[in-house]
Structures are given as C-alpha cells and as structure tokens.
Amino acid sequence: MDAPTWQTRLLQPTYIGYAGCDIQYRPEPPPEDRVSRLHLVARTAAGEVLVCRSVEEWRFLPGGTREPEEQVQTLARRELLEEAGAELRGPVRLFGAHEAISRLDQPYRPHLPHPRAYWAYAVADVVVTGPPTNPDDGEQVVAVTALPPAEAVAELAKHDVLHADVLAEAISRRLV
C-alpha cells in the first residue's frame, strides 16, 4: 500500500494524546475568539520559511499558546520573538486551523476555549532580528533556519509531520 499523501494525513481526524483531544483540519480561517494556539508560516523577504529546532531536536513552525486577553496579532508577534528571533513585517493572515475537541474535563489553561478550540495557522512576513528570546516557560530553540518552502516541508517532517503537512497545504494554495 502506498504511504498516505500529505493531503490524506492533513484531512484525517486524529487523536492527539498529549493534548487529550481529537483534531480535524479546516482549510479556512477559524473564529479568532476560539484560537488557543497559533503557528506561523514565517516568510522572509527572500521567500524562505523559518523552521525552529529545539534542544530536543524537534522541528516546528514558530508559535504557541495564547495568553489571557491576547489578540492573535500580539500572539504572533510574541511567539516569533520567543522562538525565531523574528519581527513581523505586516499583517498575520490566518488560513486554516485544526479544530480541537478536548476529551478533558478542564481546559489546558483556564482562559482558553473549552471543549472546542482551534489550533490556527497563519502566514506572516518577517525579518530575523536576533536569536530567539527562549523564555524559561517555552520551547528552548537552539537553531532557526530559513529554507525554501519545499525544503522546509522536508525539514519539518523529521519531527512534526503535522506542521509539514500544513506547510505543504499552504504551498499548494500559493500562500507561500
């Protein structure tokens, strides 16, 4: 049997054990008030995509969990600095999300939507201005690499096929 394509994997309902939820990808912007997490296809002026690598060797798109009362644009700005040492150079354009339905009794953090939330994805133009700030309570990023989009998909797939598939979808839609 052939290996599933990124489209098949991306659209397949999936249970995520560490989060205790079922996810389903939706190829449209989610309601902003239901966004609990955001990851960014951070695009440089050269058209490359930033890929972060953690101390544990994980590869991922920069992003993370929303703080209380935080707007999506502010969340993007904060996470880009923390995980990629990058600054926004324009608006954040939401393009899709995993709808996450929690099986847990409580939300991950009290201020987050529950039991239905969205793990959003956006494209944003950025410039790298320094190293990641790596706050103590976040991912410890040891490298940020700017890669052509197709190479970024391959790099992400070394650890996070979910992010690789979302980036492949953004490429197919000519968002990158």
Per-residue pLDDT tens digits for 49-87: 999 999 999 999 999 999 999 999 999 999 999 999 999
Distance (Å, rounded) from C-alpha 42 to C-alpha 52? 11
* Predicted confidence band of residue 137 (pLDDT cuts 50, 70, 90): confident
pLDDT at 160: 79
Specify the pTM: 0.94
pLDDT at 152: 98
Q: What percent of the chain has a predicted confidence (pLDDT) above 90?
A: 93
**Residue 68, preceding peptide bond in cis (omega within 30° of 0):** no
pLDDT at 151: 98
Averaged pLDDT of the chain: 95
Domains, the chain, with CATH or none: 6-172 (3.90.79.10)
Helix 161-172 crosses helix 149-156 at what angle (to 10 degrees)?
160
Q: What are the E-state strand segments in 44-115?
A: 49-54, 59-60, 63-65, 86-88, 93-102
pLDDT at 3: 59
Distance (Å, rounded) from C-alpha 104 to C-alpha 127? 38
The closest alpha carbon to 146, from 43, 55, 57, belongs to: 43
The closest alpha carbon to 142, from 73, 79, 56, belongs to: 56
- Report residue 20 as tokens: 């205790």
pLDDT at 139: 84
Mean pLDDT of 134-138: 88
Q: Are 100 and 23 in contact (CB under 8 A)?
A: yes
16-36 as b/e, with b when 16 or more CB fall inside 10 Å?
A: eeebebbbebeeebbeeeebb
Residue 4 in this model has a pLDDT that exceeds 70: no
